[in-house]
Structure 1
Amino acid sequence: MKTTRKILLSAGSVLVLLLTFYLVWANTGLGSETKQSLKIDATASYGDSSNKGNVVGIQAFVEPVDYASEANFRRKIRFYMEEAKKKNWLIPNKSIVVFPEYFGTWLVALQEKERIYSTPEIEEGMQTMVLRNAGRFLATFLKCPQDVQDKLKYSVFAMKAEVIARVYQDTFASLAKEYKVTIVGGSVLLPDPVVENGLLKTRGGLLYNTSVVFETDGTINPQLIKKAFPTADELGFICPVKPEAIPVFNTGAGKMGVLICADAWFSEAYQTLKSKSADFVITPSYSNGYGYWQQPWSGYSGSKTPEKAKADVGKISLGEAWVKYAMATRAKEEAGIKKGINVFLQGKLWNLGADGSTIVLSDSAHATPFVGKSALINLWL
């Protein structure tokens, strides 16, 4: 009996020691002091200045360190806002500023171990993040909705939902109020998000790729835009909505429609915008990988390629396909919308890559010159 008690006491002491070491490890060395890249590599403006207002597309270049802290995230956004202001492109109550798809999603890396901001492989970074948040990750995994196929990805992006939603709203809302402009905050992955009493809340359900509109007074618009047509990479852990649920917003520059990335490839989305009388359309996008923009197009992702587009598969580039089959052409042909902007995320997000070039619908439809870096693109309405 005494021997057994000694063994149990020894085992307990070892467990306490291990837990202490883990807690110290998990709560030290967080965030990063690595210098952020704050620069603009290209600018362009389309259309003629008028009192109707304008849209400023932020082709943001991001790296993991931009999400190391709330201060870093805010500093990155403020930099782009200030550069647009220097161009006289931020008109109080008339300007729309749009950030790319997934711009808010990487807040999942907020206040994590410093090593994840420098590791080249996202798999290694995610493993470190899961280990540091082991209890939170396990609890989220066990509560994962049954309909989710990829429970690991779901749990990684859902486990810090509350803090992500708070930082995302606090940052964009305060800057929208400061500059007195409407901001379309790219997109963020959140479990069953909703706006309650003026706050962006999560309810622990299915993940939605969600874009949020922040008004000129800093309030959050209660209408959330949720992606209707997830890509092949998203289908395992992101829930779609029906295209008719896509909202249209009243702004100082007119009625704005917002289509998240792949939604811009589908007629159903434009039928919704037309039925709701949208004047112009915003498309936040993210195309992962490097060099794909100029490589042969492989067809629709996550959905069957329409018959009329099959002849172009492998014959035109991905960039050309975005112009021919997405917002730049469809908005005018299918919804009668003559103005729009499609902005892509750029950066070095571990080994994920980011590709694309801002696309403008104005007098004509075209992609801006490919730079693969940061850019500010202005469109007068």
Structure 2
Amino acid sequence: MRSTFKLLVPFVLGAVALATYLVWTQDRRSGPLLSDLRTLPIESEGTPGDAGNLLAIEVKLLPADYQSRERLHLRFATYLEQARAAGLLNEKTIVVLPEHVGTGLFALGERAEVQQARSLRDAMQWTALGNPWKFLRALLDNQSKDRRTEAVLRIKAGRMAEDYQTIFGGLARDYAVTLVAGSIVLPEPHLQRQRLHVGTGPLRQVSLTFDHQGQPIGPLQYKYALSRYERRYSEAPGNRRAVTLDTAAGRLAVALGCDGYRQAPPEDADFIVMPGALAVPESSCPDALEPAGATPRLEVRTLGLPWNLVGSPRQPARHRHGPPVQLHNLWLPTRP
């Protein structure tokens, strides 16, 4: 009898622990984190006219911004409302968001522990614990240097692509502007019937632009010159083919990060926008080129990313002093 009881106790305790864990994985309530919605004066240069304008929204993104679609939408809607009140939004306005603004979408719908994690490793670990079976399958199928991050981005990819298009396409439609939605990392992303889809191939960093009706303007814009940490879980495509996008203001070229400094823009580009621009490109981008010609260009820096998304996965995100947001407007000159 005692032997049976001794065997039964661990079994019961294990069953209780498993039941508790399964209940925990289903609890997706977010924690009480707050976004920073302060606004600051908009810096503007150039002469207002009918040719349109480029508007950079540089923000210090926080884990709180990724608690829900509504939170992230509200963060950028706050600044777009400010720009509209200042008379800076029109049918020829092109709004540009920071690099990796879409990559943090893996945290949407996850438990509060994910948002409260200090490092990328911890955020990915909590996400994995909340999605154990999918995570294990994805983990066994990849051989990257950061297998945990790649596995999480793969299991969340379908939802991330949907959220990315819903949030940023919705902002473009709501404010009737063209919007360059920073960038996002997805497995073999592609456009099909005006929807962003994912595949099973390598993780790629891409940018998608939406027109004033919230519809994608193809093709996707890829990042080629990946940083050291980005290469741990993603790959650059082999073909380096820069193309322009048709917008109401003219032909738009999008260059992500070091791509804007290392490769010449397409010859037919009327203007260039650069999400992920660097304060000192020479130190981070080998073989950086000097900007050539008089083509207007707008550099959009990332003031901060949650969980140290593009740094060491073990290091916490740095709490840098400085403004939570900077808006820069560039009026485009009238083309001959």
CA distance in 2, matches of 1:221, 1:16: 52
**1:261 alignment partner, SS class:** coil
Aligned-pair distance for 1:3? 11
2:194 alignment partner AA: G
CA distance in 1, matches of 2:270, 2:208: 19
CA distance in 2, matches of 1:42, 1:157: 36
- Higher relative contact order, structure no. (Cα contacts within 8 Å, ≥ 6 residues apart): 2
1:233 aligns with 2:229: yes
Aligned-pair distance for 1:354? 8.1
1:209 alignment partner AA: Q
Q: Superposition RMSD on alpha carbons, in Å? A: 2.7
**2:219 alignment partner, SS class:** coil
The equivalent residue for 2:312 is: none
2:103 alignment partner AA: T
Deviation string, structure 1 residues 4-24 (Cα, Å, up to 9, x no partner): 999887766554433211111
* CA 1:242–1:52: 2 relative to 1, 3 Å: farther
Equivalent in 186, 192, 196 of residue 190 of structure 1: 186
Map 1:282-301 onto structure 2 (within 5 A).
Answer: 282-285=273-276, 299-300=283-284
CA distance in 2, matches of 1:110, 1:213: 21
2:258 alignment partner AA: A
1:374 alignment partner AA: V
Aligned-pair distance for 1:232? 1.4
* CA 1:215–1:44: 2 relative to 1, 3 Å: same
The equivalent residue for 1:375 is: 326
2:74 alignment partner AA: R
- Contact 2:52 / 2:93 at 8 angstroms: preserved in 1? yes
Aligned-pair distance for 1:143? 2.4
Deviation string, structure 1 residues 66-96 (Cα, Å, up to 9, x no partner): 001111111112112111111111102x110
Equivalent in 300, 311, 316 of residue 343 of structure 1: 300
Deviation string, structure 1 residues 289-335 (Cα, Å, up to 9, x no partner): xxxx58xx88345xxx34xxxxxxxxxxxxxxxxxx46xx42xx1xx
The equivalent residue for 2:167 is: 171
Q: TM-score, length-normalised on structure 1?
A: 0.77
Deviation string, structure 1 residues 193-252 (Cα, Å, up to 9, x no partner): 011111111012211111001111111123101111111121222111246322210111
Between stretches 176-185 and 339-348, larger displacement belongs to 339-348
Aligned-pair distance for 1:57? 0.3
Map 1:52-67 onto structure 2 (within 5 A).
Answer: 52-67=51-66
- Contact 1:31 / 1:110 at 8 angstroms: preserved in 2? no
Query: Where in structure 2 are there 5+ consecutive unaligned residues?
Result: 308-315
CA distance in 1, matches of 2:232, 2:60: 27
CA distance in 1, matches of 2:14, 2:195: 41
Aligned-pair distance for 1:40? 1.9
CA distance in 2, matches of 1:7, 1:71: 51
Q: TM-score, length-normalised on structure 2?
A: 0.87
* CA 1:11–1:50: 2 relative to 1, 3 Å: same
* CA 1:111–1:7: 2 relative to 1, 3 Å: same
- Contact 1:161 / 1:191 at 8 angstroms: preserved in 2? yes
CA distance in 1, matches of 2:4, 2:36: 58
The equivalent residue for 2:313 is: none
Q: Sequence identity of aligned pairs in percent? A: 27
Equivalent in 103, 106, 109 of residue 104 of structure 2: 106
- Contact 2:125 / 2:148 at 8 angstroms: preserved in 1? no
Aligned-pair distance for 1:152? 2.3
* CA 1:89–1:43: 2 relative to 1, 3 Å: same
Deviation string, structure 1 residues 250-283 (Cα, Å, up to 9, x no partner): 111110000001111213x43xx12xx0010010
The equivalent residue for 1:203 is: 199
The equivalent residue for 1:212 is: 208
Aligned-pair distance for 1:111? 2.1
Aligned-pair distance for 1:29? 5.3
**2:65 alignment partner, SS class:** helix
CA distance in 2, matches of 1:354, 1:340: 29
* CA 1:352–1:266: 2 relative to 1, 3 Å: same
CA distance in 2, matches of 1:260, 1:89: 24
**1:154 alignment partner, SS class:** helix
CA distance in 2, matches of 1:57, 1:227: 19
1:47 aligns with 2:46: yes
Query: Where in structure 1 are there 5+ consecutive unaligned residues?
Result: 288-292, 307-324, 356-369
Equivalent in 147, 156, 160 of residue 156 of structure 2: 160
Between stretches 159-168 and 107-116, larger displacement belongs to 107-116
CA distance in 2, matches of 1:337, 1:21: 63
CA distance in 2, matches of 1:90, 1:354: 32
The equivalent residue for 1:70 is: 69
